[in-house]
Every structure is written in structure tokens, then in C-alpha cells.
Amino acid sequence: MLKSIQTINDTSSSNDTDADISIYKEKDPDLIKANSLLHLQNAELVLRTRTMAVMRNIYEIINTSQPVQITIDNLVRAIVQQLHFRKVSLALVNHKNRTLEMLATYPDDLTDEQEKVIFSKLYKTLQIPLDDKDNFCVNALSQNHVRLTNDMYDLLRPLISRKTATELQNLLSIQTSIIYPINFAGKPLGVLIIHLEKNLGNLSRSERDSLKELVEIIAIAIERAQTYSELQTANQRLKDLDRLKDEFVSIASHELRGPMTAIRGFVSMILSGDYGAVGEALISPLKDVESATERLIALVNDLLNVSRIESSRIAFHITEFSAASAITDVVRELSSLAQNKQLIIEQNFQESPTICADIDKFKQILINIITNAIKFTDKGGITIKLTQKPPYAHIAVTDTGVGIDKANQNKLFVKFSQVFSNQSGKPVGTGLGLYIARNLARSMGGNLRLEDSIINAGSTFAIMLPIAKTKEAQNTLQKLAKAHATI
């Protein structure tokens, strides 16, 4: 016991203590006892201090996100430098090949020559098979019990022979090896092996207790490093997949457009009479081909858009502009569409806010909503009301159309879910328009929703976008800048 305390006290004046004890030995037995007690307590304090120092080191290691190998190298080094053991090794479970891999050792003092002599094969990393139940490391881990041995063969079997183990032990001046299993939340991570110098016997009780505490924190450090590493790999994989998907969608949509252009083009030219008069009977089926092709083209365009939105690849060019003037532009563009059905578009601008958004995307949303309104309305008209509900500008598009029943209302903004027109029983659109429109509105810090709908009376959709110079507008700009920075 005294011997091990002496090793811990190596920075203190151990020579003096010897002298002191010899003087008092002749004299008072009580003084001797008191003195020994003081030494013991002193030794324990020193151990405590050093253990705390290692713990602090380990906390630092936990806080820096390093790869697993660097983490465990730092761990074994910290332990040796503070607690002065002859050698410390750390082995981690490798689940893929079912072994305990000796991944870190400090000090790593076996020379290449010696390594060649000791090991018949050169092991870069010793891998102990987990099914060798007689190996003390495997045993310690599976039984969750500290093991102790004076024979290195117990540690490294079946990788080396008994003879080699003895040679190794002598070369390294190691007598006792103590194996601590490392577990995190019941999951076995590996083992920590403390090698003690020759003639040092075992660890004191306090040393053993301190090590038990340290092993728990070491478990946290290892778990954290492993989790971080897994996260990085997963993240990289996701980024790669995302890029692959984008490339695929881009190429696919480009390739698909070629033949579709040809079909659309030739059918249009046939119907225009470019190839001669078209028989009455052919006009209707040809027109059907034309509209099917147009739907197909719209679908490919929408798919490309959806793919871009979902990976935040759409570029937003945010400016401040008058909502009223943008709305007027769109209404002008769609006026002929409305006139074809004898519908009136009315603009009711109660206020004239300046909004902070991407003007093209705002117009795209408006076009989508108003076109839908025209599609689903046979008589009457569409009213566009512009107001302010700070911090948002509020644009309500109301039509006098067929309305949307409760069952279909839930499906409105869902991808690919189509509302069947009550008028013709045919599906209208690609099922992506409202999904894209709402996505765009939300990406710009606003929203798009159905405010109200009554069967045979009409529906009201509302678009909301942040007013310029509000906090909402600021937040949106920051979010968009960040989204682009991560690409």
C-alpha cells in the first residue's frame, strides 16, 4: 500500500518522508500512526486533485468535436500524463467485424524492431475477436466487471502466443494490467486497460474508485465522438443524394421537353392547316392530343419547380414594390382569359402597401390563384381586394364560382391531389399549382390559404406577404440568405 502511495507522491519530497519516518520509528508509536494517516490522507488528496485534472481534460475533449481516433488518443494521453501509469490502452468494439480493436495506446513505446520481434505478423491494430470468451478484455466487457491479470497473454489471446506475451511484458516492464469495461447507457463501447509498472502490485482502493468515475466520463466522450462522426457521414450522404436528385430532375425534364415540343408543335401546325385542310372528324381528337400534351408539359415544368423548391434551390430576388401595381399588371395579362368567359375582374384597393418579396414569384402566385378562379367560375366575376393587416399586406381573391366542398378543401394544397371540376368531371391542372404557390408564399415569409368557400356561391383565397421594412421582412431576408449559404 505504501509503495503505491509513494508513486503517486512522486512530485513531493519522498526522500524527506523516508528520513522523517526513520527518525520517528525509534520514538513514539502514536506519532508514527498519526504520521502514516497524514501521508495516506495527503496521498488521497493528491489523487483526488489529479483525478479532477483528468476529468477537466476529458470535459474539454468532450466539448471539442474531434474524430473518434483523435478523441481516444487524447483520452489515453490525459490519463497517463496526470495519473502516471506505466501505459494506458483503449480498445473499442468494432461491430462490423465483431472484434475489440486496440485503437489507442500511450506511451506508444514499442520500436519497430521490437514490434517485428514480438509479433510474428505486424499488427497495425490488434483486433481481439469478441467470441473468445476467455480473453479478459472480452470477458470484462460482456460481464461488465473489472478484470485484473499479471499475464499479458490473458489480454491479447488468441492474437499472440504465451511466449510472445511474456517477452512483451518484460520488454515493457509491465506487471499488472487492469481492465475496465466502458459502457454508455447499457451499450458496450470498449475497454480501458491500465498497465502498472513492475513491483507495484495493485491499485489502491481510492485509485480504483477514481478510475471507475473516470471511465463513466470516458464513455460519454467516446459516445459523443462516435455520434458526431455518424452525423457527419449521414449529412454528407444527404447532401450528395440531394445533388444527385437535382441533376436527375434537371436532365430528365430537359430530355422530356424535346419530344413534347415536337408533338405539340406538329399538332398545332396540322390544326392551323399547314399541311392542308383537316377533316371535320379529326379536329376534336387532334385538339384532345393538343391539350393532353399541354398538360404533360405543365406537369414537367411543375415537377422541376417542386424539386427546386424542396431543395431550396429556387433563387429569390427580393425587392420592395407596390402590391397594387403588381396586381394591376397581372390583371391586365389575364384580362383576355376572363373576357373569353365574359367574366369581370374588379380591383378593390383599400390601401396601397409596399411589400417586400420577389416580384416575379408574387405574380406567379397571383396568376395561379386568379387563373383557378376563372377556371371554376362560369358567370359573374372575380374581385381582388387589397388591404393591410400589419405586418402583412393582405390580398383576397374572391370568385362567384362553383365553390369547393369540405372534403376537397383539405386536399387543396396537397401535392398531386387534384380537385375534380364539378362542371366537367375532368381533373383540372397538375395538382401542383397551389402546392407550389403556397410554398413560394411561405418561403417569402407570408402565406396562402383558403379563407372561405360556399358551394355554388364562390371561394375566397388570401395571399399574405410582409410589408416592407417590418421585422417580418427582415427575418425573411435573413432566412433566405442563410438557406442559400448552406447550398
Partner 1 sequence: MAKILLVEDDELLSKMYIQKLKREGFEVLSAYDGDQGLSLMKDTHPDLVLLDIMMPKLNGMQFLSQVKKDHGTSSIPVVVLTNLAGTQNAQKALLLGAKCYLVKSDFTPDEIVKKIKEILVK
**Closest distance of CB 327 from partner 1, Å:** 22
Instruction: Answer yes or no whether residue 301 interacts with partner 1 by CB under 8 A.
Output: yes
Q: Among 63, 97, 272, 424, which residue sits at the site for partner 1 (rule: CB under 8 A)?
A: 272
213 binds partner 1 (CB under 8 A): no
Q: Is 344 in the site for partner 1 (CB under 8 A)?
A: no
SS3 per-residue string spanning the chain: CHHHHHHHCCCCCHHHHHHHHHHHHCCCHHHHHHHHHHHHHHHHHHHHHHHHHHHHHHHHHHHCCCCHHHHHHHHHHHHHHHHCCCEEEEEEEECCCCEEEEEEEECCCCCHHHHHHHCCCCCCCCEEECCCCCCHHHHHHHHCCCEEECCHHHHHCCCCCHHHHHHHHHHHCEEEEEEEEEEECCEEEEEEEEEEECCCCCCCHHHHHHHHHHHHHHHHHHHHHHHHHHHHHHHHHHHHHHHHHHHHHHHHHHHHHHHHHHHHHHHHHHHCCCCCCCCHHHHHHHHHHHHHHHHHHHHHHHHHHHHHHHCCCCCCCEEEEEHHHHHHHHHHHHHHHHHHCCCEEEEEECCCCEEEEEHHHHHHHHHHHHHHHHHCCCCCEEEEEEEEECCEEEEEEEECCCCCCHHHHCCCCCCCCCCECCCCCCECCCCCHHHHHHHHHHHCCCEEEEEEEECCCEEEEEEEEEECCCHHHHHHHHHHHHHHHCC
Q: How many residues of this chain bind partner 1 (CB under 8 A)? A: 22
Closest to partner 1 by CB, 274 vs 346, is: 274
Nearest distance, CB of residue 330 and partner 1, angstroms: 18
Tell me the window of 35-43, 135-143, 254-262, 477-485 that interacts with partner 1 (CB under 8 A). 254-262
Looking at beta carbons only, is 55 or 286 nearer to partner 1?
286
Binds partner 1 (CB under 8 A): choice among 29, 258, 276, 279: 258
Q: How far is the CB of 276 from partner 1 (least distance, A)?
A: 12
Binding segment (CB under 8 A) for partner 1, from list 68-76, 246-254, 325-333, 462-470 = 246-254
Which of 266, 321, 349, 413: binder of partner 1 (CB under 8 A)?
266
Quick one: 272 or 456, whose CB is closer to partner 1?
272
Q: Which stretch binds partner 1 (CB under 8 A): 5-13, 104-112, 231-239, 247-255?
A: 247-255
260 binds partner 1 (CB under 8 A): yes
Binding of residue 24 to partner 1 (CB under 8 A): no
Site mask, partner 1, residues 350-379, x = CB under 8 A? Answer: ----------x-------------------
Q: Which residues bind partner 1 (CB under 8 A)?
A: 250, 253-254, 257-262, 264-266, 268-269, 272, 274, 297, 300-301, 304, 315, 360
